[in-house]
Structure 1
Amino acid sequence: MDTTAVTRMWNDTDLLRNYTFSCASPSVEGYRYFGVLLGSTVTIVGTIGNILTVLAFATDASLRTRFNVLIVNLALADLLYCTILQPVSVDSYLHLHWRGGATWCRMFGFLLFLSNSVSIITLCFIAMSRYLVVAHRTSRCARLLLSHRGVAVLLISSWLLGVASFAPLWPVYVFAPQVCTCSFHRTKGRPYTTVLLFMYFFFGLGCVGLFYFLIYRKVRVASKAFLKYRPSRRSSERKRAKAEATTDDSGISAGASTTQSCEISHDETGAEQNKNKALEKSEGHTNTKEPKNSIQDASKDTETSSKPTPVTIQTTPAASSGEDSEFKRVTRMCFTVFMCFVCCFAPFLLLNVADKANRAPQVVHMICANLTWLNSCINPLLYAAMNRQFNQAYKDLLGKAVHPLTWIWRTRRITIR
């Protein structure tokens, strides 16, 4: 049997299963229970974690920064998937059948790609904002984008761009039996779907990787410059304490830049010394006349100390202050979120590119599709592990949620006794 006949047979089988909304197959009878367990875990962990992220931003004043607004937007996109879409996928895996009808199937496919597109766009905005902070903070473009109005425009545009991209595919959203869920048709939407996936998953994620590479180079150069002009240990500790008191966890503080050039002139130091000497002399010799030689010596000292000797020291908060410590930590967290997104989606995308004729076993398609589920629930875990402010906010919220239960338990124990 030639390749054309095999491809036609697979397409006819998929078309029949699509119309019946069935994904039943002997190869996935046992695997579906693992899919149900994994999907249920993603639903619970992702819903609780992303809700905690939104509540932490709303209740903790230290987290209400312009940068964290982008984090909340990413949490909302994940919450859309975990709370609304993931339970539907679990139901399909449990019954190996789509039970929502054709209209809900189209809506599901649209919301699925909307959630993914908003996540990718938000990851791009996060990486771009990190780069602007470290490289072009004082530029006009950076000030506009990092302002309150600029961040609001970014948030609205992420959702509008997602809707505008995937709404035209409404007629071609169908049931995909290979992954037991609804998606766009693999051939009817071409070439629009091919261009769209390339723009989002390859060009978009490639831009994110490029921004983080540029950030790495910029911070590395700044760190080398600092090692060459290292300030005193006491000065570093004083700057670090001051920066920690005025810097939020995004590494952005009021009036601070990531690379600073400080010129220290001895004019002010000499003037201060002259003032102290004049005070000492006026107090110690009020009723006596000072010899002429001592007056001349003092004038010489004054002239010598008042000569400006500029010393230029380049200090980089990216290597010395607590501000840079927070900046690096948050940037590392954002890069980890990006890498997790790539790792979750890469197997699924590569399989769809390599297996155009649907020759791979259905269970392989399901496994790769299930990896994409993890992306929606893993971000809050990364925030808790890599961001001390989110970690503390999560603990406070969970403590407040558990407190009524512990109070009821203690009251019940006392009553029994």
Structure 2
Amino acid sequence: MWNSTDPLKNDSFSCASPTVEGYRYFGVLLGSGVTLVGTIGNIMTVLAFATDASLRTRFNVLIVNLALADLLYCMMLQPVIVDSYLHLHWRGGATWCRMFGFLLFLSYSVSIITLCLIAMSRYLIVAHRTSHCARLILSRRGVAVLLISSWLLGIASFAPLWPIYVFAPQVCTCSFHRSKGRPYTTVLLYLYFFLGLGCVGLFYLLIYHKVCLAAKAFLKYRLSHRSSKRKWAEAEVAIDDSGISDGASTTLSCEISNDEAGVEQNRNKAEEKSEGQTTTKEPKNSIQDAPKDIEMSSKPSMVTIKTTPAAGSREDSEFKRVTRMCFTVFLCFVVCFAPFLLLNVADNANRAPQVIHMFCSNLAWLNSCINPLLYAVMNRQFKQAYKDLMVKALHPLTWIWRTHGFRTI
């Protein structure tokens, strides 16, 4: 992305400068940490998906695709960057420089496309789960087509830039030539980094809007329930219109609190006394005591809400946790790349110090290793799967230690 001498005409691939002589060791340490943490973390993510049956869902396939893109960067590209920082010189030659630049932007493009797919799938689950289009996209075949398309689109986007991948001294790595590729490179950066990430943000904004509508509908449901039994049907319609599914696969669910169930019990008792029902006592019309489906009866008809409070609450909570985790992954991507992008937009003439360019580039490295840490902190299933993998990996060492200990005794 920076102006540079064509490596085919000049064998010098040096990025040495008095201003970065000391800073390069910081880059080496940071890059080594990214390589280690990112490689182990993303491999554990893939293995967790492969070994844990509860994680083998169609949505988690998107998480694995993101991990593969990060694994490509951490295993193949980051060690090469560390070597360049250590020697302040590119030691791979012109051909490997071009291959490196292509793989670098392929990894970035697949990550952005996958983030878009993750946000889109979250939105479809919230707003259009029962539609034919959503079912087609979220089917096994649909997800497989989307994943393959993400890699093919990345290859088709950045393969044409093969002749102009060159060494960029400002960041001591290889990238495409900033001026020779215009306007194609400008369009690509705009589509991926600005329009693509903007679409991700838009999807999460729509999800937030739907969740707010669901919360308002539930509040209206509670108020109408307290005022009169005749408004149960209206409350149910309001909830369905807000994007909450009503089947067994409900994702966003209405949760009835125990306090409200208690109020309903007390009110039923009062009604029984007032109407003089002293002969036979029917079962209490309590939401809390319902084992499966919840049935509310009124004089004209009966209205059924098909989500149990306990199951619905768990599904709702799990959906919110997963969506919050995905949104955090997106935010981390933006935070890591924002300084890098803004600097290149503002410093079109490369007047900023080299150390500033290198530091902003170093922040972008973190994106490839931070996702597994987020999964471990924000997702209980991945966290447990990581623990199981670590126990299995350390089992031979613990067996040797126990065996050695017994022999010593």
TM-score normalised per structure 1: 0.78
2: CA distance, partners of 1:353 / 1:62: 44
Structure-2 residue corresponding to 1:195: 187
> How far does the alpha carbon of each residue in 1:181-227 deviate from its partner, in whole angstroms, 9 at most, with x for none?
00000101111000000000000000000000000010111012112
2:76 paired with 1:87: no
> How far does the alpha carbon of each residue in 1:115-135 deviate from its partner, in whole angstroms, 9 at most, with x for none?
000000000000000000000
Asked whether the 8 Å contact 1:127–1:211 carries over to 2, the reply is yes
For residue 396 of structure 1, the aligned residue among 376, 388, 393 is: 388
Asked whether the 8 Å contact 1:126–1:334 carries over to 2, the reply is yes
Structure-2 residue corresponding to 1:256: 249
2: CA distance, partners of 1:321 / 1:36: 47
Q: Give the AA of the match of 1:83.
A: M
% identity of equivalent residues:
81
Gaps of 5+ in 1: 1-9, 233-250, 262-279, 281-304
Q: CA deviation at 1:309?
A: 2.6
- Aligned alpha-carbon RMSD (Å): 2.9
Structure-2 residue corresponding to 1:177: 169
Q: Give the AA of the match of 1:335.
A: F
Structure-2 residue corresponding to 1:212: 204
Q: CA deviation at 1:409?
A: 1.5
Gaps of 5+ in 2: 226-243, 255-279, 281-296
2:220 paired with 1:228: yes
1: CA distance, partners of 2:115 / 2:87: 35
Aligned in 2, Cα 1:41/1:228: closer, same or farther, shift over 3 Å? same
Aligned in 2, Cα 1:13/1:316: closer, same or farther, shift over 3 Å? farther
Q: Give the AA of the match of 2:33.
A: T
Asked whether the 8 Å contact 2:4–2:167 carries over to 1, the reply is no
SS in 2 for 1:179: coil
2: CA distance, partners of 1:31 / 1:318: 55
Structure-2 residue corresponding to 1:236: none
Aligned in 2, Cα 1:407/1:319: closer, same or farther, shift over 3 Å? closer
2: CA distance, partners of 1:113 / 1:230: 51
Aligned in 2, Cα 1:11/1:321: closer, same or farther, shift over 3 Å? closer
For residue 36 of structure 2, the aligned residue among 30, 44, 65 is: 44
SS in 2 for 1:174: strand
For residue 409 of structure 1, the aligned residue among 401, 406, 409 is: 401
SS in 2 for 1:175: strand
Q: Give the AA of the match of 2:220.
A: K
Asked whether the 8 Å contact 1:318–1:327 carries over to 2, the reply is no
1: CA distance, partners of 2:196 / 2:134: 20
Q: CA deviation at 1:407?
A: 1.2
Moved over 3 A (4+): 10-19, 251-255, 257-261, 305-308, 310-320
Q: CA deviation at 1:317?
A: 8.6
TM-score normalised per structure 2: 0.80
For residue 319 of structure 2, the aligned residue among 324, 327, 330 is: 327
Structure-1 residue corresponding to 2:229: none
Aligned in 2, Cα 1:137/1:317: closer, same or farther, shift over 3 Å? farther
2: CA distance, partners of 1:109 / 1:186: 13
Asked whether the 8 Å contact 2:252–2:319 carries over to 1, the reply is no
Asked whether the 8 Å contact 1:36–1:94 carries over to 2, the reply is yes
Structure-2 residue corresponding to 1:377: 369
For residue 386 of structure 1, the aligned residue among 370, 378, 386 is: 378
Quick check: which one's helix share is greater? 1
2:23 paired with 1:31: yes
Q: CA deviation at 1:406?
A: 1.2
2: CA distance, partners of 1:342 / 1:100: 30
1:290-329 aligned within 5 A: 308-311=300-303, 321-329=313-321
2:53 paired with 1:61: yes
1:278-293 aligned within 5 A: none
The number of equivalent residue pairs is: 349
1: CA distance, partners of 2:404 / 2:309: 54
SS in 2 for 1:183: strand
Q: CA deviation at 1:256?
A: 1.8
Deviates more, 1:380-389 or 1:217-226: 217-226
Aligned in 2, Cα 1:370/1:145: closer, same or farther, shift over 3 Å? same
Structure whose CA Rg is larger: 1
Structure-1 residue corresponding to 2:347: 355
SS in 2 for 1:74: helix
2: CA distance, partners of 1:213 / 1:387: 22
1:119-198 aligned within 5 A: 119-198=111-190
